[in-house]
Structure 1
Amino acid sequence: MAGRNPRLDDVAAKAGVSAATVSRYLNSPEIVAAATGQRIREAIDATGYVQNLAAGALASSRSRLIAALVPDIAQSMFNDTVEAMIDELAMDGNSVMLSLTGPDNHRLAREINMALARRVDAIILTGIVSDTEMRQKLRLAGITVIETWGLPEDPIDVAIGFSHRAAGEEMARFLRQRGYRRPHLVVPRSTRSARRASGFVTRWLHDGGEEPTRLEVGVPSHFGQGRLAYRGLADLAAQPDVVVCGSDWIAQGLIVEAQAAGIRVPDQLAVTGFGNLRLAGDMRPTITSMDIDGARIAREVLRVLRARAAGEPVETRIDVGFRVIARESA
């Protein structure tokens, strides 16, 4: 073995079994007797053998490589979903290639092309592919493409998510039932945030409320935007009784700034967030937020990939829903 990489035959010789038995163990360890599997594992450790996954991919036409494309990971509401998804996929024998497309998706086309060049089995998207030509390119790629965190009417392949417009409507209903009458919206400049804001306003006006005031902020949303949003309330003609924030990060910053000014939350000003991040339950007061079941999205992604591998049909639109988590801030 000196001067060359360990081979499958070396493991087989060390374990006292055939190369075919080692191959079966590597691909399906459960079908190999426990004692034999133990000897093979010890032989792998002793020889330093590393399985050639590229060769296996050529033989099976599956790379077991999944590309997950997210806008960013700093203060991202996608983090819990992506973490759960990677765990689920890894336990199923896949490797996940995580790529960052940028808050405004300016690297999205490049990362999609890189994933296709690496012959991934699937591409999982959290951002929106708005370019018509790129959407068509993905449809023709011959791989599974899963759009998450949204439910487009015409998915590229499979969509696993929820209606952002309906989520906005639900928050409007919730706050009206709580007795609030003067909402102020802090809306990140993104397509999905705009849809939630539109759903909120539509439901609010339908139920007899007046047009909410509104502030737009950049993406990605962050703590400092909430602090600035609170200071901007002084410029409004009428002070709101509740601020509806486009993310929990914004809600956190706004609450901190309000408390620093001596304002009691929610007695004098209520605040809501979106995403139900861990910080929402850790804050004081805790933040009322919209929860999206990221773990379920991850499970649905794995279910779709397993069904595709088995040649079984799958739904093209899978709605995971949402729910308002009522806490201390509203």
Structure 2
Amino acid sequence: MSGPPANPKRSRRRSGAVTLHDVARLAEVAPITASRALNTPDRVSPEVLQRVTDAVRRTGYVPNLLAGGLASTRSRLVAAVVPTIAGPVFLQTIQSLTAALEAQGYQLMLGQTGYVDSREDALLEAIIGRRPDGIVLTGIMHSAHGRQRLLAAGIPVVETWDLTPTPIDMLVGFSHVEVGRAVAAFLHGRGRRRLAVMAGDDERSARRHGAFRQAAVALGLPEPALVTVPAPTTLGSGRAALQQLLAADASVDAVFCSSDLLALGVLTEAQARGLAVPAQLAVMGFGDLEFAADLHPGLTTVRIDSHAIGRQAARFIVERAEGRPVAERVVDLGFSIVERGSA
């Protein structure tokens, strides 16, 4: 019986993924015993089951759900994880990702997590067990459990729609903090002095509106009012948010919304109340969705190159899946403010 490795992480770096053999060595059992403990735990002793379970927890191992004969074959399947498909903000990225992967002979599997970390962890475990050739995440992975699982799996991972100094593997996105700062400076430069922000209650939106409020104060403005609504945001939640905001402070002269749909709701409610946009109230969105330019007035918003995010994520996955080196693993695509009639 072989003893545990001196450093169980070393074999992960050599092979690129934690294997059943690594678990068996750490648990000091034969690989077939480790397999039996995972698949038919009633056939091993409680002491052996505990040792194998502990080894799985320590290594982050996820059992391969593919048949043994297929495990060495590339699946040509890529999994993408998004918070929601109810709103259109991520659809352009998914469309471009799908098209770019299909051109290289890969298919996309889409999973929806909502905005709850535990749901994301559960979905990722199911995905990892099926061993896709790559995983594309919306946002950065904050769960320590999820990070451990992804690192242990050795599957190429691309985080998108965000920036972090500590990506799991590869990343393509932009800084939400810089978006918030830039919007505050833009509205200040247009003479707006009583700012407010309406935002979904998700983490990326929180970083945008936090930076927006801090930047406004640094510019000498009163701290902007904040109204939060459930994510994903909707036209209806935008209308309700403006009602709540104006009931608390009717002097607000500019609103930054965490999505274009939220901004559309604000514009609708402003029109219903007879508020002139932008003379009395400037409105800014985020995302530059297709309808933004066709509104009256046109919606001033933050443009994210969603298609470029999808194409770059596909390039990352294909290069890694086909064994080609990736020289630059973090790509910041930035953003731009599109000025139209609403602000």
TM-score (norm 2): 0.76
Question: 2:263 matched to which residue of 1?
Answer: 251
Checking the alignment, whether the CA contact within 8 Å between 1:71 and 1:105 is kept in structure 2 is no
The one of 58, 63, 71 aligned to 2:75: 63
Q: Does residue 320 of the first structure (1) align with residue 339 of the second (2)? A: no
Provide the C-alpha distance between the structure 2 equivalents of 1:193 and 1:313, rounded to a whole number of angstroms: 30
Q: Does residue 193 of the first structure (1) align with residue 193 of the second (2)? A: no
CA drift of 1:303 comes to 2.0
Q: Which amino acid aligns with 2:81?
A: L
**SS at the partner of 1:74?**
coil
CA drift of 1:107 comes to 2.3
CA drift of 1:238 comes to 4.9
Structure 2 matches for 1:203-242, cutoff 5 A? 203-242=215-254
The one of 303, 307, 319 aligned to 1:295: 307
Provide the C-alpha distance between the structure 1 equivalents of 2:184 and 2:198, rounded to a whole number of angstroms: 14
Checking the alignment, whether the CA contact within 8 Å between 2:300 and 2:341 is kept in structure 1 is yes
Q: Which amino acid aligns with 1:183?
A: L
The one of 87, 107, 118 aligned to 1:95: 107
CA drift of 1:226 comes to 0.8
Question: 2:16 matched to which residue of 1?
Answer: none
CA spacing shift, 1:182–1:118, aligned 2, 3 Å: same
Q: Does residue 176 of the first structure (1) align with residue 188 of the second (2)? A: yes
**SS at the partner of 2:267?**
helix
**SS at the partner of 1:134?**
helix
Checking the alignment, whether the CA contact within 8 Å between 1:81 and 1:297 is kept in structure 2 is yes
CA RMSD of aligned residues (A): 1.9
Number of aligned residue pairs? 276
CA drift of 1:99 comes to 0.9
Q: Does residue 264 of the first structure (1) align with residue 293 of the second (2)? A: no
CA spacing shift, 1:140–1:314, aligned 2, 3 Å: farther
Structure 2 matches for 1:109-124, cutoff 5 A? 109-124=121-136
Question: 1:134 matched to which residue of 2?
Answer: 146
Q: Which runs of 5+ in 1 are unaligned?
A: 1-53
CA drift of 1:290 comes to 0.6
Q: Does residue 82 of the first structure (1) align with residue 94 of the second (2)? A: yes
Provide the C-alpha distance between the structure 2 equivalents of 1:62 and 1:76, rounded to a whole number of angstroms: 31
Aligned-pair identity (%): 41
Question: 1:44 matched to which residue of 2?
Answer: none
Question: 1:310 matched to which residue of 2?
Answer: 323
Q: Which runs of 5+ in 2 are unaligned?
A: 1-65
- Superposed CA offset, 1:19-67 (max 9, x none): xxxxxxxxxxxxxxxxxxxxxxxxxxxxxxxxxxx99x94973211000
- Superposed CA offset, 1:282-329 (max 9, x none): 222111111110111122112212321233133232111001111111
Provide the C-alpha distance between the structure 1 equivalents of 2:83 and 2:249, rounded to a whole number of angstroms: 36
- Superposed CA offset, 1:71-107 (max 9, x none): 1111241111111111111111101001111233542
Checking the alignment, whether the CA contact within 8 Å between 2:140 and 2:167 is kept in structure 1 is no
CA drift of 1:207 comes to 1.8
TM-score (norm 1): 0.79
* Deviant stretches of 4+, over 4 Å: 57-60
